[in-house]
Amino acid sequence: MKKWIAGVTTLAIIAAISAGCANAGSSSNPGESDSTEPSGERKTLTFWMKKQLFEDQNNLIQERAKQFGEENNVDVNIELIAYEDFYPKWSAAIESKTTPDVSYFGYQEVGQFYEQGVLENVNDVIQTIEQANGGIQDNVKKAIAFEGNYYAVPFWTESQVLYYRKDMLEAAGFDAPPKTWDEFRTMAKALTDPGKGVYGAGLGYGKGNSDAEFLTRGIIWSYGGSVDTKDGKTVIVNSPETVEAAKFIRDLFLTDKSTPPSALGWDDSGNNKAYLSGQAAMIFNVGSVLATIKNDNPDLYEKTGVAPYPAGPKGTFVPGISNNLGIFKDSKNKELAKQFIAYMLQTDWYKTWIEKGAPLTGPVLTGLKNEPVWQDEKNKAFVDSVEGFNFLGYPGEYNPKAGEVFNLRIVNDTFQKLLLEPNYTPETAIQDLQAKIEEVYKK
Kindly indicate the confidence band of residue 21, based on its pLDDT and cuts at 50, 70 and 90. very low
3 state SS of 225: coil
Q: Is the per-residue pLDDT at 35 higher than 60?
A: no
Q: Is the per-residue pLDDT at 280 higher than 50?
A: yes
Kindly indicate the confidence band of residue 443, based on its pLDDT and cuts at 50, 70 and 90. confident
Residue 414 confidence (pLDDT) = 97
Residue 399 confidence (pLDDT) = 87
Q: Is the per-residue pLDDT at 185 higher than 70?
A: yes
125-144, pLDDT tens digit by residue? 999 999 999 999 999 999 99
Strand partners, 119: 328
Residue 207 confidence (pLDDT) = 83
Residue 30 confidence (pLDDT) = 57
Strands 321-326 and 75-81 turn out to be unpaired
Single pTM value for the model:
0.86
Higher-pLDDT residue of 15, 54: 54
Residue 104 confidence (pLDDT) = 98
Q: Is the per-residue pLDDT at 22 higher than 50?
A: no
Q: Is the per-residue pLDDT at 20 higher than 70?
A: no
Q: Is the per-residue pLDDT at 36 higher than 50?
A: no
**DSSP one-letter code for 253:** I
**DSSP one-letter code for 154:** E
Residue 34 confidence (pLDDT) = 46
What's the CATH code, domain 161-319+390-442? 3.40.190.10
Amino acid (1-letter code) at residue 125: V
Angle of helix 55-72 relative to helix 334-344, nearest 10 degrees? 130
In the chain, where does the domain assigned CATH 3.40.190.10 lie? 11-158+321-368, 161-319+390-442
Residue 32 confidence (pLDDT) = 47
State in words which class domain 11-158+321-368 has: alpha beta
Residues with Cβ within 8 Å of residue 127, at least 6 apart in sequence: none
* DSSP letter for each residue of 390-433: E-TTTTS---HHHHHHHHTTHHHHHHHHHHH-TT--HHHHHHHH
Nearest to 222 by CA among 203, 201, 199, 248: 248
Query: If you average pLDDT over every residue of the chain, what do you get?
Result: 90
Residue 312 confidence (pLDDT) = 98
> HSE on the CB side for 263, CA within 13 Å?
30
- 103's enclosing H/E stretch is strand 102-106
**Among the listed ranges 8-17, 170-179, 348-357, which one has the minimum average pLDDT value?**
8-17
**306 in Cβ contact with 287 (< 8 Å):** no
Q: Is 433 left (phi over 0), alpha (psi -120 to 50) or beta?
A: alpha
State the CB neighbour count (10 A cutoff) for residue 314.
Answer: 12
Residue 40 confidence (pLDDT) = 58
413-432, pLDDT tens digit by residue? 999 999 999 999 999 999 99
Strand partners, 312: 315
Percent above pLDDT 90 for the chain: 83
**433 in Cβ contact with 246 (< 8 Å):** no
Nearest to 318 by CA among 202, 204, 161, 210: 161
**311 in Cβ contact with 2 (< 8 Å):** no
82-119, pLDDT tens digit by residue? 998 999 999 999 999 999 999 999 998 998 899 999 99
Q: Where are the alpha helices (DSSP H) in 47-154?
A: 55-72, 86-96, 107-116, 123-133, 138-141
363-377, pLDDT tens digit by residue? 999 999 999 999 999
Q: Is the per-residue pLDDT at 8 higher than 60?
A: no
Mean pLDDT across the stretch 53-67?
A: 96
Higher-pLDDT residue of 32, 225: 225
Mean pLDDT across the stretch 254-272?
A: 95
Q: Is the per-residue pLDDT at 407 higher than 90?
A: no
